[in-house]
Amino acid sequence: MNVRFTGKVALVTGGGSGIGRATALAFAREGATVVVAGRSPESLAETVKLIEAEGGRASAITADVTRARDVARLVEGVMVRHKRLDIAFNNAGVLGPRGPLVEIDEDAWSAVLATNVTGVWLSMKYEIAHMRAHGGGVIVNMASTIGAHTTRPELGAYAAAKAAVSVLTRTAAREYIREGIRINAVSPGPVAAPMSRLPGESDAERDSRIASIIPIGRVGGVDEIAAAVLWLASPEASFIVGHDLVVDGGATA
């Protein structure tokens, strides 16, 4: 068994489902003590249950990453429980409304940016502060191929937010690498998760649509994205700084 993260403490935001849950499970399988965070205590409890059923160690903290007070409490909670924070995967995000830019109302626009951009910024703000004081760490942010790498009609707010995550990641990486904090991002393409479905589309319909337009001929799996996150967080990627790793089956090649 690979135990790259034995003795490490990993925080995963948006850990109640999808890529966040898969990554939390993957970290635990490789020896990490995992803290999952999100807005749904029920979903987080299910992730913790799944990890513990495999013999892993995990706990949950309910938090909204758009609120500075929540994020400060979250990171402090990790430190109180475990006395350290080695790895953070800032995964919490929302797709937001679909539609032409002129039809997106201000509240919807603000909500997408609040979670996807401000949430990542706040998470890094408090994670970095603790890592600086405790010898460093690793951060991986969730970006997307829709953003810095490509665009899609009717997803302008989401694309703008995820492009901002890529830029924030590169900026923070340059600012803090000399203090022992290594920061990168991962940009998934179409993945077998609810966010990749069109309105009213089933999983099978989504899989068929994506298979016809993506070079690899299939949708990605959440475990494949989790594997990329774990590699970026691992010692094997120690020379990778400020990179936005595209994992998309060739969609943006």
Amino acid at 59: S
Amino acid at 223: D
Residue 239 makes CB contacts below 8 A (sequence gap 6+) with: none
Among 113, 158, 169, 196, which one carries the catalytic annotation?
A: 158
Q: Is 7 exposed, middle or buried (0-12, 13-18, 19+ CB in 10 A)?
A: exposed
Residue 63 makes CB contacts below 8 A (sequence gap 6+) with: 13, 37, 38, 39, 70, 71, 73, 74
* 126 is an active site residue: no
Helix axes 41-53, 18-29, angle to 10 degrees: 30
Q: Look up residue 29 and give its two tokens.
A: 């399988």
* Residue numbers annotated as active site: 158
